[in-house]
Amino acid sequence: MKRWFTVTMAAAIAAALAPSLSAQWPLRPQPGVPKGPDGKPNLTASTPRTPDGKPDLSGIWMRTERTEAPGSQPAGRPPLATFGNVGAGFKEGLPFQPWVADLLKKRANAFENPDALCLPQGPLEYHLDPQPREIVQTPRRILIVYESNYGLRTIYTDGRRLLPQGEPQPYWHGYSVGRWEGDTLVAESNNFRGALTGQPGDGWLDGRGHPFTDALTLTERFRRVNFGHLEIDVTIDDPKAYTRPFTVRVEQVIVADGSEMIEFVCHENQMFLKLTGRAPG
């Protein structure tokens, strides 16, 4: 078994314990959750909307555990991505530039994964992490709070344009602007700080280490298809790392039982560097 898989699985096991920690919080039933005849949340009920008629993306969301065989997705729909491999749904693999294969060999032990180093994860790692995330929707911005590594992302929906690469200060989560196309929120992002600059943990799209660079433009299309389900189609356009853009789908499901997010401060008990013999001193 490859060492990267062992380390990644150890991280995944630790992350998977997070739901049990949520039991420390009292459940606080949320108002407005539709119920079926059995009294349980009706996840297929109609999509909630804000006062201006837009779909309301607010809520606490978990990734789904659904998987599919490579190439088996319906015609016209992007393949599903996984936390460990965003290209898992492509029969032919991702369209790498030639240098990427050598980088993936260097990253095979996963020691430099940003999650293992308590750094902010890459954009698809955050979407696919087994820990929850909360979306807070306001008229001028949308906030996404990630329980994993306590990440906070802002998508501006106040009409501003996406600034050229290199103009704003780079952001760990990218500089993001959003607009509504019908019932779909389209978010575009660039200027990622966590791109390839030679530093540990830079530019990881997933647990396997598929890279992104400072040329990345990320386009996400968020659709709340009903009360309980969120679909996010993510397009990676990074000509330094890939020969063409590609799109994958992320599926998330609402947390409707009243559970709340918990505080997760990775550096509070960071033992990974010590355990791998790389701690200073």
The DSSP bridge partners found for residue 242 are 96
Residue indicated by tokens 């060492």: 3
**pLDDT computed for residue 28 by the predictor:** 82
- pLDDT confidence of residue 150: 83
**Euclidean distance between CA atoms 125 and 215, whole angstroms:** 18
pLDDT value of residue 18: 41
> Residue 1's pLDDT is what?
32
Q: Is the dihedral of CA 213, 91, 251, 206 positive or negative?
A: negative
Report the amino acid identity of residue 49: R
φ and ψ at 231, to 5 degrees?
-115, 135
Among 133, 265, 122, 94, CA closest to 207:
122
Asked if 88 and 81 count as a contact pair (C-beta separation under 8 A), the reply is: yes
Count the neighbouring beta carbons within 10 Å of the beta carbon of residue 253: 16
What was the pLDDT predicted at 280? 60
The pLDDT, as a whole number, for residue 268 is 64
pLDDT of residue 97: 97
DSSP H helical ranges for the chain: 3-16, 18-21, 100-106, 123-128, 272-275
Distance from C-alpha of 96 to C-alpha of 235, rounded to nearest angstrom:
15
Give the per-residue pLDDT at 213: 95
Which residue numbers in the chain have pLDDT < 70?
1-26, 268-270, 272-273, 275-281
> Taking the CA atoms of the chain, what radius of gyration do you get in angstroms?
19
- CA dist 202 and 41 (Å) reads 40
